[in-house]
Chain A
């Protein structure tokens, strides 16, 4: 072989470089449909997959409605949270009628007549069917302060003049149970979200540190998690909320309880983050980031966490119901939230003994939204988790 000539070497140096911009589709041209699919972002893929999960979509809509209702609770319900009707104590649920004396009319209610049964000493309520009281819609009724600030009296539906509208009955102070359930949603629903936000942050930071640094940090975190998990949740919650000073204002108690619920829930998330990070930190892209001088905080938050964020959100969703149930249980036992703050648990506190089951079963109705919200969160979380899993 002869050595390459000088001319050939010069020719090689001045090799051809195309000035035209690179077209990634020069080899295979994608159809617009394919393009839409192959170039879709992770979140978009998740959304497509999530849409296929019918039950999860329905649950998502229910959740949206329930959370949406908390924004305009005052307008949706016929009565105020604390309005008492001293003439109607333990009134049984009232029916909305459509037919008066066999003739169809606008939805109306009959007036309630109270009588005392002298044998059982129970108040008994009967409908006075002589005169219908049509419901008023988009009307002015029981005055309230919208969001505790603006004085208003606008309601979606009000009882007819001279009549009452207790669709789910009243409690021992004559307060409308339906209205109270709607108001209770405000507290019960936000306590789950707020709690999960706190425990999510805790789980990310603590689990992230344990997984990324390993060594003694990991060891300590592991031990702490193990200790926390070997407590039975509810008794520990009970102990902690019994510790909250009695002198605290109800709103402080609310935040205190949220904090207590969050303090025990972060362990599951921290574990998931840790085990994922332990594997991911050995990846080449992580090493590359480290070699370029990125700080641990940046590597964790910028390069590692986004990789499985969707999965984390899904599992966080699945732990919200536990918190809602926890708050309900604590308030039911009388060591959680206290009136005047009203959550579903506080409402159920009234239904604590067997007399209620026997005599005033409608006082147990706040349990229905609890069941609905927990089912909805479970199905929604399941759908989210399936959608976030790229291998399914």
Chain B
């Protein structure tokens, strides 16, 4: 077990390095950089630009060095928890994004729980009642969940929630709680608001998970041990709960790997529509204004979230599933 954990952790390192290189290339791709457009903006406004100040800024951000050196500087900074400097906000990136990362994780975590809670019973029902009307109906709703773009769903849900429940539009909490320290009232307000994004982000991954769970469970239900158990005269409910369901539980954990990227992708665009104080809107803004360190840190953080999430799910699977544990193989 320990060997496997260490092995997986070591394997993460080259992956993360490759990811950081790709992100760095992307954030360097646009012609010019924020500093140049900043200078241009100042000149356009008729303000004089102090060449000394520019030179100082250039040096401060390492913009005068070759690319490789810039990358190493950036990567080394990240290792020390220094994610660079946001030109737009004139603040270190960590100061700008800290709270948003937290909320992103909160929303993603809540969405995973929601996905599980909904997909589990529906998937089991669909598999045990294959080709029944319930199965068809639920499958169709699932397909709809895949087909409806979640930004549209977010818009409509936001409108409905406002009309019928009087929830304030947008955001993760009531306007009176923004910037306030955490309290019980704030927590309740967050709970009141979080269900919309969770529902919207969750539909897509829930639908996908139901389909995969159904297929998996159907395969499992046809296996010989189930036939044996039935032939022995075990009541159907017990047959289902004792064996195939346990297999399905493992699948739940291993499936995180495939739903997590979707959830995080969906969370971004939903957050833009709902103007949630998470990573999404700020990432979009940073990309549009080419505040590249900020954008790069967001991308790096989101990728890290996925890598770590998949790692945790793999490790949990090893701990849970004796077949994988004994063979020492990799889960996926």
Give me the interface of A with B, judged by CB distance under 8 Å. Answer: 223-224, 226-227, 229-236, 238-240, 242-243, 245, 321, 325, 328-329, 332-335, 348, 351-354, 356-358, 364, 367, 370-371, 374-375, 378-379
- Among B27, B156, B284, B306, contact of A357 (Cβ-Cβ < 8 Å): B156
Q: Is B283 an interface residue (CB 8 A)?
A: yes
Contact between chains at A238 and B147 (CB < 8 Å): no
Contact between chains at A242 and B19 (CB < 8 Å): no
Which among B92-100, B118-126, B177-185, B261-269 touches the partner chain? B261-269
Bound complex: CA A235 to CA B287 (Å): 10
Bound complex: CA A351 to CA B290 (Å): 25
Q: Is B169 an interface residue (CB 8 A)?
A: yes
Contact between chains at B299 and A227 (CB < 8 Å): no
The interface residues of chain B lying within 8 Å CB-to-CB of A223 are: 14-15, 18
Number of interface residues of B (CB under 8 A): 47
Bound complex: CA A236 to CA B262 (Å): 12
With known contacts A230-B310, A242-B288, A235–B264 Cβ distance under 8 A: yes
The interface residues of chain B lying within 8 Å CB-to-CB of A357 are: 155-156, 158-159
Contact between chains at B303 and A367 (CB < 8 Å): no
Contact between chains at B149 and A232 (CB < 8 Å): no
Interface residues of B, dominant DSSP = helix
Bound complex: CA A321 to CA B146 (Å): 9
The interface residues of chain B lying within 8 Å CB-to-CB of A354 are: 155, 158-159, 162, 169
Q: Is B22 an interface residue (CB 8 A)?
A: yes
Q: Which residue from chain A places its CB closest to the CB of B265 in the assembled complex?
A: A234
- Among A230, A321, A351, contact of B147 (Cβ-Cβ < 8 Å): A321
Contact between chains at A234 and B15 (CB < 8 Å): no
Bound complex: CA A329 to CA B303 (Å): 20
Q: Write the B141-161 contact mask toward A (1 if CB under 8 angstroms, else 0).
A: 001101111011001101100
The interface residues of chain A lying within 8 Å CB-to-CB of B162 are: 354
Contact between chains at A231 and B303 (CB < 8 Å): yes
- Among A230, A353, A356, contact of B19 (Cβ-Cβ < 8 Å): A230
Contact between chains at A367 and B30 (CB < 8 Å): no
Contact between chains at A245 and B30 (CB < 8 Å): yes
With known contacts A238-B283, A329-B151, A335-B288, A232–B306 Cβ distance under 8 A: yes
Q: Which residue from chain A places its CB closest to the CB of B287 in the assembled complex?
A: A242
With known contacts A239-B295, A357-B156, A378-B146, A333–B14 Cβ distance under 8 A: no
Bound complex: CA A277 to CA B268 (Å): 37
Q: Write the B1-23 contact mask toward A (1 if CB under 8 angstroms, else 0).
A: 00000000000001100110011
Shortest beta-carbon contacts, A-B, top 6: A234-B265, A242-B287, A374-B147, A232-B264, A357-B159, A243-B29
Q: Is B221 an interface residue (CB 8 A)?
A: no
The interface residues of chain A lying within 8 Å CB-to-CB of B307 are: 230
Bound complex: CA A321 to CA B149 (Å): 11
